[in-house]
Amino acid sequence: MNRMPDLHGCTPSDLENMGMDFLLHLALTAPKLNAESGTTNPEPVSPLTLTPLRDLSASVLTQRNPGLSGVKSRKPRSKASNLPPDILLSLNTMLAAGRSYAEIIQYLIDQGYPGFNKVNLHNWRITGYQHWLRAKKPEVTT
């Protein structure tokens, strides 16, 4: 006998009274697809497993498509990217030193650049700061 699915306390007669006979019919006659035999587990048994996508960084893309080797990453457009180079260097250095966003915001205010918030600095940290680190990396290696 097919089990009645949980319809939040509705009985078959309630469904009929509400004009939802088709739900009752579907619930009682629907085949149990993908159910493991002999268990109440509705999970499908499949030899297929999903694998996560590989990292599609620029190096992987250029290995697969040599024509993409000339592709350049877009220049950051965040609020911090509009700062003068000396202030930007100080900002990146403070991020590299692990300074808190509150300290960096206070520094920017003291330098005459009010209006920065944690979101602005976070966006810079994941974009422009990463570009700065990659550009700086060859200098660090000895």
Note the pTM of the prediction, 2 decimals: 0.48
What are the start-end ranges of the H helices in 34-127? 58-64, 85-96, 101-110, 118-126
* Cβ atoms 41, 35 nearer than 8 A: yes
Q: Residue 104 has what pLDDT?
A: 97
> pLDDT tens digits for the chain (142 residues)?
555 555 566 676 776 676 666 655 666 666 555 555 666 655 555 555 555 555 555 555 455 555 545 556 677 788 999 999 999 999 999 999 999 999 999 999 999 999 999 999 999 999 999 999 999 877 655 5
Q: Residue 76 has what pLDDT?
A: 73
- Residue 121: which residues within 8 A CB-CB, separation 6 or more? 80, 95, 101, 104, 105
- Residue 136: which residues within 8 A CB-CB, separation 6 or more? none
* Cβ atoms 104, 91 nearer than 8 A: yes
Q: Residue 114 has what pLDDT?
A: 95
* Cβ atoms 24, 15 nearer than 8 A: yes
- Please count the CA atoms within 13 angstroms of the CA of 97 that sit on its side-chain side: 11
Q: Residue 34 has what pLDDT?
A: 52
Q: Residue 13 has what pLDDT?
A: 72
Q: Residue 97 has what pLDDT?
A: 96
What is the 8-class DSSP label of residue 68? G
